[in-house]
């Protein structure tokens, strides 16, 4: 009843419950556009690599196509999380996403590392000088597409206050830098086509950049899976804010989770059993607002209100069953 009342009466509360909420629609649209653009660019780069034998296009195209898999899983978790009535279910889907990212990023990092050493040890392929100008024009076209995609994701992310889309825009910006290196490679291919060492060095640099990024994603996913708490100070601060709130008798459960640097707070409190649903709703909202304004990097706060004695009754019941 409390959750239903909260959804119907708080227009400012982030509505992740409804399947047609504006946040979910905007985030879904932005992610789908990002997936489509990345797929188009990836296929074009792989096709161009097949004819030009420029390994830089292979690395870029492989990266764009490979990361469609975790991005698709991410899109699925956004949609599934928006259809559930409990934030804990949403975190469950995030765990699935994180596990997939952990396995996938490790695989990509291993493959790129192998590619790096093969390129380093083997003789570089002789590039076709006739594709130098084509490399320049294609790189400029891709940079232009990525620039508009970056601006779009950044603007939508700011408008709906989505850290997910803002981080995605930063990744697109980094991808633009990699394509700029391909542009430089095309220039050298026109100016000095026989100077293969420059192309090899640029190829190794881009491969190393993708390896570092994949390794970072793997480490971040591993940290999220072990559910490491941000710090004792954050936990103490949220406890202090909650316990100082009038009407709060007891904090029966508290969990703080970190998602890539962002913090999620989940608290269950006990209050006077005689208070009304409106009063319980008011207490929960005040706690959420104070935590969001007082604790840095908090992206989500979920407060449950139970009547006093519920925690003790639950513990006693579990003890009797185990006994």
pLDDT tens profile 164-222: 677 678 778 878 888 888 888 888 878 876 666 776 777 777 778 778 877 877 777 77
Of 8-17, 22-31, 256-265, 285-294, where does the model show the most confidence? Answer: 285-294
* The predicted structure's pLDDT at residue 3: 34
Task: Report the CATH number that the domain containing residue 317 is assigned in CATH.
Answer: 3.30.70.1350
Task: Report the CATH number that the domain containing residue 24 is assigned in CATH.
Answer: 1.20.1510
The phi and psi torsions of 305 (rounded to 5 degrees) equal -115, 120
Which tops the pLDDT comparison, 197 or 21?
A: 197
Reply yes or no on whether the pLDDT at 308 is more than 80.
no
Long-range contacts of 91-99 (CB under 8 A, 24+ apart): 91/257, 91/264, 94/224, 94/259, 95/224, 95/225, 97/70, 97/73, 98/221, 98/224, 98/225, 99/221, 99/225
Residue range(s) defining the domain that contains residue 39: 11-225
Measure the CA angle with vertex 240, ends 280 and 226; round to 5°: 95
Least confident of 21-25, 78-82, 189-193: 78-82
* The predicted structure's pLDDT at residue 128: 66
Q: Confidence class of residue 115 from pLDDT cuts 50, 70 and 90?
A: confident
* The predicted structure's pLDDT at residue 144: 94
Q: Confidence class of residue 36 from pLDDT cuts 50, 70 and 90?
A: very high
Please give the structure tokens belonging to residue 268: 């269950």
> Whole-angstrom Cα distance, residue 277 to residue 78?
30
Mean pLDDT of 219-231: 64
Q: Are residues 221 and 236 in the same domain?
A: no
> Whole-angstrom Cα distance, residue 143 to residue 137?
10
Q: Are residues 220 and 236 in the same domain?
A: no
Mean pLDDT of 71-80: 72
Q: Confidence class of residue 142 from pLDDT cuts 50, 70 and 90?
A: very high
Which of residues 225, 250, 266 is at a domain's end? 225
Q: What is the mean pLDDT of the chain?
A: 74
* The predicted structure's pLDDT at residue 256: 77
pTM of the predicted protein model: 0.56
Examine residue 5 and state whether it is found in any structural domain, yes or no.
no
Q: Confidence class of residue 148 from pLDDT cuts 50, 70 and 90?
A: very high
Q: Are residues 169 and 311 in the same domain?
A: no
Q: Are residues 99 and 188 in the same domain?
A: yes
Q: Are residues 18 and 37 in the same domain?
A: yes
């Amino acid at each position: 009843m409390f959750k239903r009342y909260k959804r119907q009466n708080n227009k400012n509360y982030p509505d992740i419950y409804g399947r047609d909420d504006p946040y979910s629609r905007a985030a879904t649209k932005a992610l789908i556009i990002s997936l489509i653009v990345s797929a188009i660019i990836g296929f074009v780069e792989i096709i161009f690599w097949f004819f030009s034998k420029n390994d830089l296009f292979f690395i870029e195209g492989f990266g764009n196509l490979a990361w469609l898999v975790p991005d698709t899983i991410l899109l699925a978790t956004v949609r599934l999380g928006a259809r559930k009535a409990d934030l804990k279910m949403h975190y469950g889907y995030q765990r699935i996403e994180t596990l997939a990212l952990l396995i996938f990023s490790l695989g990509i990092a291993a493959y790129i590392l192998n590619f790096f050493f093969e390129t380093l040890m083997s003789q570089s392929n002789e590039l076709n000088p006739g594709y130098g100008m084509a490399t320049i024009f294609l790189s400029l076209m891709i940079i232009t597409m990525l620039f508009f995609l970056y601006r779009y994701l950044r603007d939508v992310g700011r408008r709906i206050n989505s850290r997910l889309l803002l981080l995605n825009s930063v990744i697109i910006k980094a991808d633009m830098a990699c394509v700029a290196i391909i542009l430089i490679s095309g220039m050298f291919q026109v100016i000095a086509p026989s100077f293969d060492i420059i192309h090899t060095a640029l190829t190794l640099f881009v491969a190393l950049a993708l390896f570092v990024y994949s390794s970072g994603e793997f480490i971040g996913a591993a940290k999220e899976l072990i559910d490491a708490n941000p710090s004792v100070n954050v936990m103490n601060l949220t406890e202090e804010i909650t316990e100082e709130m009038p009407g709060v008798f007891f904090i029966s459960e508290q969990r703080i989770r970190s998602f890539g640097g962002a913090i999620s707070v989940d608290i269950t409190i006990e209050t006077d059993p005689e208070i009304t649903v409106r009063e319980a709703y008011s207490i929960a909202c005040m706690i959420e607002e104070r935590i969001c304004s007082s604790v840095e990097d908090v992206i989500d706060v979920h407060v449950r209100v139970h009547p006093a004695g519920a925690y003790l009754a639950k513990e006693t019941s579990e003890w009797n069953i185990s006994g």
